Structure 1
Amino acid sequence: MSARFVRSRDGAAAIEFALLAIPYFLIVFAIIETFVAFTGEQLVSNAVDTLSRQIRTGQITAANTTKADFRGKFCDEVSILITCSGEDSSKLILDIRSFSKFAEIPDDIPRKNGDLDATDTFAPGGPASINMLRAYYRWSVLTDLVRPYISGLRPADGSLPKEFLIVATASFQNEDYE
């Protein structure tokens, strides 16, 4: 009976599946999460393009739009996949500023102790002014095992990040819309 037991292959597929199921599903869920995060990046980028076009043409100005109204318009653009209200409101940072020359526009992400150091700014310029619109969104990572190790942002306590920073930027000169 023991020789027959040793030769038996009953249940071998179940054991192989049990050994491979966890890594397989981790990879599948990581692929799905990466796809959804990429879609979130595209949403933020499209919202930046749409709202910068409205600033450039004078539809959105400091005189006719408040910071809260602008944030609401941005959130309406990304609401398909991203929530900007309630406890998630701190994940989105919008930075709209005016400059006298294109060379003055910052080309780096503001950091403090390795983490993002930015607050909402709403100061678009008037006609023919040079402007920059940047959006930062902290995308929560659930299954991605690699991204926390390659992220450039680190929490102040030194732990591994649980978020991926989505950044979209537009620099433009307003039309002379007066």
Structure 2
Amino acid sequence: MSIGKTASTSPTRSPRDPFRRLIGDREGATAIEFAILALPFFIVVFASIETFVAFAGEQLLANATDTLARRIRTGDITTEAGKDGFMTEAQFRQAFCEEIAVMMTCSATEATQPSKLYLDVRELPEDLGAFPQAVPRIGSDLDTSGFTFAPGGPNDYTMVRAYYRWTVITDLVRPLVTKLRSAGESMPRDYLMVATATFRNENY
């Protein structure tokens, strides 16, 4: 007795089946999602870290300004030759650089040729309404042409202003935090930190 051959049958596949399998396949989905979200995620992380570090730098600049201002107020720093505490402008700038050296860099020539740190120390008139209040600017840059080093004597009003050009690293964040732009620069690069101390010197 012979057994007849049974024709094999297979389910007919729709032409759309490969696309359905592709859509349903979750292998590698995590890697793709990470690739899409990585850039904005790291931008936010780096911007947050840079903001924190810059805030700490501003506090350091303010503390240094207060420290040096206190030394002027008490007569520990003076421009009168022959007296204890006599300092030239370069020596004062070097002392300021040493105060902020923990986080802020001063070049080897910063004491004589300012490139990041700018200091304005001056005696003020007794008319308190004449105290300068705004940041001096020329265009989009800091105007340092009127800066001087002339702390007052006993009982004089004195103002110490410190400016530091903090370089912003995160490119996409830079336009949001600064508009400080030197001559010839098409895009802002530095964030201007500012610290001010105004006081009356003691009768030393």
The residue aligned with 2:120 is 95
**What is the count of residue pairs matched by the alignment?**
177
Say if 2:181 and 2:190, in contact at 8 Å, map to a contact too: no
TM alignment of 1:134-153, pairs within 5 A: 134-143=161-170, 145-149=172-176, 151-153=178-180
The residue aligned with 1:114 is 140
151-160 or 59-68, larger mean C-alpha shift: 151-160
Instruction: Mark the structure with the bigger radius of gyration.
Output: 2
134-143 or 88-97, larger mean C-alpha shift: 88-97
SS of the residue corresponding to residue 78 of structure 2 reads coil
149-158 or 96-105, larger mean C-alpha shift: 149-158
* Greater RCO (Cα-Cα under 8 Å, separation 6 or more): 1
Q: What do residues 126-163 of structure 1 show as CA deviations (whole Å, max 9, x unaligned)?
A: 10000000000010001163442453534444723111
Percent identity of equivalent pairs:
54
More helix by share: 1
**Consecutive unaligned residues in structure 1, runs of 5 or more:** none
Which residue identity does 2:116 align to in structure 1?
Answer: K
The residue aligned with 2:54 is 37
The residue aligned with 2:96 is 74
The residue aligned with 1:52 is 69
SS of the residue corresponding to residue 115 of structure 2 reads helix
- Pair 1:65 & 2:65 matched: no
The residue aligned with 1:129 is 156
Say if 2:180 and 2:189, in contact at 8 Å, map to a contact too: no
Q: State how far apart, in whole Å, the 2-side matches of 1:87 and 1:162 are.
A: 21
